[in-house]
Amino acid sequence: MPFAFNKELWEAGRKIEDEALPKLNKYFKTNFQRNENDIFDILDFKDEEEKIIVEVKGRFNRSDAYEDTIITASKVMAGQQAIDEGYRVYFLFVFTDCSKIMELKEDCSFKVKFTGTNCIRHYMIPVADLEDFEDEEQLKELEYEPEPSD
């Protein structure tokens, strides 16, 4: 193992994933199943029938704290392999103030940064390129908000 396992961080991430799962199922109209191979699963949720995969990345900062957010190159590579197998792949970033989502495409390209003492390769995802992620209930609330008066 290249680095020490941080159980506390893993549990926090697992909680974020658990909270995101019902929202993802509503949003995509799917029945995602968790990949349960081990603690180092590459991608979190998969719906075999709809051919959709979602990786959830919890963040302990606001969405406007940094210009970019990072994702390990291994997750992008696993996503590209899944695309080759006919899946649509999404990355959901859960920030402290909101959640944002992006679809990984075959032709995506990102800046690279090596981080940590083990020099792990990460891709830099511009936060400005991410779409707001709202579940169905949030969308209904937005529809019924009155227009501001002049």
- pLDDT digits 0-9 by tens, 75-133: 999 999 999 999 999 999 999 999 999 999 999 999 999 887 678 899 999 999 999 99
Comparing 87 with 144, the larger pLDDT belongs to 87
Q: In what order do the strands lie in the sheet with 99-104?
A: 33-34, 45-47, 52-58, 88-94, 99-104, 131-132
Residue 9 has pLDDT above 70, yes or no: yes
> What is the pLDDT at residue 142?
40
How far apart, in whole angstroms, are the C-alpha atoms of residue 107 and residue 86? 15
> What is the pLDDT at residue 139?
42
Q: In what order do the strands lie in the sheet with 111-115?
A: 68-72, 120-126, 111-115
What's the mean pLDDT in 62-83?
94
- Which range, of 20-29, 71-80, 90-99, 134-143, averages the lowest pLDDT? 134-143
pLDDT band at 41; cut points 50, 70, 90: low
Domain limits of the chain?
7-143
Percent of the chain at pLDDT > 90 equals 63
Options 3.40.630.30, 3.40.1350.10, 3.40.50.300, 3.30.70.120; CATH for 7-143 is 3.40.1350.10
> What is the pLDDT at residue 3?
63
